Amino acid sequence: MTRQIVLDTETTGLNPRSGDRIIEIGCVELVNRKLTGNNFHRYINPERDSEEGALAVHGLTTEFLRDKPKFAEIIDELRDYVSGAEIVIHNAPFDVAFLNAEFALLDLPEFPKHVGPVIDTLVQAKELHPGKKNSLDALCSRYGISNAHRKLHGALLDAELLADVFLAMSRGQNSLTMEMQVEHQDGEAQDQSFDAVLPDVLVLAASDAELEAHNAVLSGLDKDSKGKTVWRMEAGNSA
């Protein structure tokens, strides 16, 4: 079983080193590349105001966040939720730096120590689409994923959009043999493989005129080589 968590955060500003904090975290769970609906979403009281530029992006005011739990109050839930999973983030260094700062304030090991590999979809997108815009909005447009309802940035909404983008970008990595879960009467799930159904191959036979022209070319080559063409030799050996 492959468990992946698509994660996004909103913050009070751009730099955790200057005291900026996480104010929202949203996570979407994928198991074997399927959305499970087991999401994680929390608003967080950062105990400080957001910078004006950041507030314009996420719209989460100090008044709204004042009665929300502090990061220390949600850390155990978050650690349990992400434990051991692969983490998918767009521009991972940004979010991981903020998570590391929050974990450090609580004397905990850095965020990557609690999870599996961290996958950066921005790096993947740049490799797939060099020289093009690879923001989340640009990728949604490129892969036909609707983000019309996205007026402001929100951690859970962005994580949901990124999950769709990630699945679309990595779809070509699937093998022709797909796995499905079969539910038995006793309620236990069992892996079962099946070969993907491929479309019939359309075969077009050569017309009589085309065959005649082809034989004429072969005969000419055979004459030029005095009967030493490979196809004549092979035909003689098989006779």
Which secondary structure element, helix H or strand E, spans residue 177, and what is its range?
A: strand 177-183
Which secondary structure element, helix H or strand E, spans residue 191, and what is its range?
A: strand 189-195
The domains of the chain, with CATH numbers, are: 3-181+188-192 (3.30.420.10), 208-238 (no CATH)
Give catalytic residues, as residue numbers: 153
| pTM for this model (two decimals) | 0.71
Q: Tell me what the pLDDT averaged over the chain comes to.
A: 84
Please state, for a pLDDT cut of 70, what percent of the chain lies above it.
Answer: 78
Burial 172-184 (b: 16+ CB within 10 A, else e): eeeeeeeeeeeee
For the beta carbon of residue 59, count every other beta carbon within 10 angstroms. Answer: 14
CA distance 165 to 173: 14
For the stretch 85-136, pLDDT in tens is: 999 999 999 999 999 999 999 999 999 999 999 999 999 999 999 999 999 9
For the stretch 47-73, pLDDT in tens is: 999 999 999 999 999 999 999 999 999
CB 121 within 8 A of CB 88: yes
